[in-house]
Amino acid sequence: MRIVVLDGYCLNPGDLSWSGLERLGEVTVYDRTPESLLLERARGAEALLTNKTPLGRETLAALPELRYVGVLATGYNVVDAAAARERGIVVTNVPAYGTASVAQLTIALLLELCHQVGVHAAAVRTGEWAASQDWSFWKTPQVELAGKTFGCIGLGRIGGQTARIAEALGMRVVVHSRSQGISLEALLEQSDVVSLHCPLFPETRELLGASQFQRMKPSAFLLNTSRGPLVVEKDLADALNAGVLAGAGVDVLSVEPPVAGSPLFTARNCIVTPHIAWATREARARLMEIATNNVAAFAAGASENVVN
């Protein structure tokens, strides 16, 4: 079986091995594939693995040998799954590989908003503590989480794990999801921290904008480690700059890599990290293992994690 990995660098920048995949066939790995080279590189492959390289209807139609697409992620919107199904192409994804890592980064963003550890460590290095008249000084308000309310929007694997950590910190957890919990409006009004853990569907796109931020407490923090388009970024920046919200921590943006001049880059008390929640070596190793097992199962005629 000829297997082509279209954009393998983010999964494996050199600290993992493709050897498991190589045991299943002839493997060609590209770090990145621009649109201009997509058909040239994919032509003749029976199996394509993609992370963010789009495979639309026209592209799939131009690849008659293609029988399998493995998405190197949980979300699979980069592939026209319906068009693939029409052509008898199996599409799989990799669920549940990054639950612990994404939950951990979510809480890391929250703790950074509470304590601004980086700001204070830098102040020590530049001599501000040494020059202080007091034995202790702080540049930002310090926030204790115990007793506060953590609002979790979406309660899948990652949302559930994050909620459990919040509870371990002494927080009261409230939930809004399609199947359980309180209304979105009630969650926004009650919560000291609002954390997004829902998938991106047409009905959740721009779920939070200006009117929703107005419902939140002015002391509240917003966290987004799920999908960038869940939030109207300009509205979030405006809310932060106007003091409608106290702070935000986001690991995802609506366009990645971001366009220059994103309003969140200069928003008050907004921490933006470059989509790293999934990127621990442990999580990427699990992703590699599951993706390889998906290909092996397809080759054996017993496909796993099929999404179409």
List all residues 6 or more positions away from 211 whose beta carbon is below 8 Å from its beta carbon: none
Query: Do residues 42 and 34 lie in contact, with contact meaning Cβ atoms separated by under 8 Å?
Result: no
Query: Do residues 28 and 37 lie in contact, with contact meaning Cβ atoms separated by under 8 Å?
Result: no
- In this predicted model, what pLDDT tens digit does every residue of 15-28 receive, in sequence order? 999 999 999 999 99
Q: What is the pLDDT of residue 81?
A: 97
The two tokens of residue 238 are: 């405006």
How many Å apart are CA 62 and CA 80, to the nearest integer?
Answer: 13
* Strand partners of residue 68: 47, 90
List all residues 6 or more positions away from 204 whose beta carbon is below 8 Å from its beta carbon: 198, 230
The whole-model pTM stands at: 0.94
Pure H helices in the chain: 19-22, 38-42, 57-61, 81-86, 99-115, 117-125, 157-168, 184-190, 210-215, 233-241, 281-299
Q: What are phi and psi of 64, to 5 degrees?
A: -65, -25
Q: Residue ranges of the chain with pLDDT lower than 70? A: none
DSSP 305: S
- In this predicted model, what pLDDT tens digit does every residue of 234-256 receive, in sequence order? 999 999 999 999 999 999 999 99
Catalytic residues: 227, 256, 275
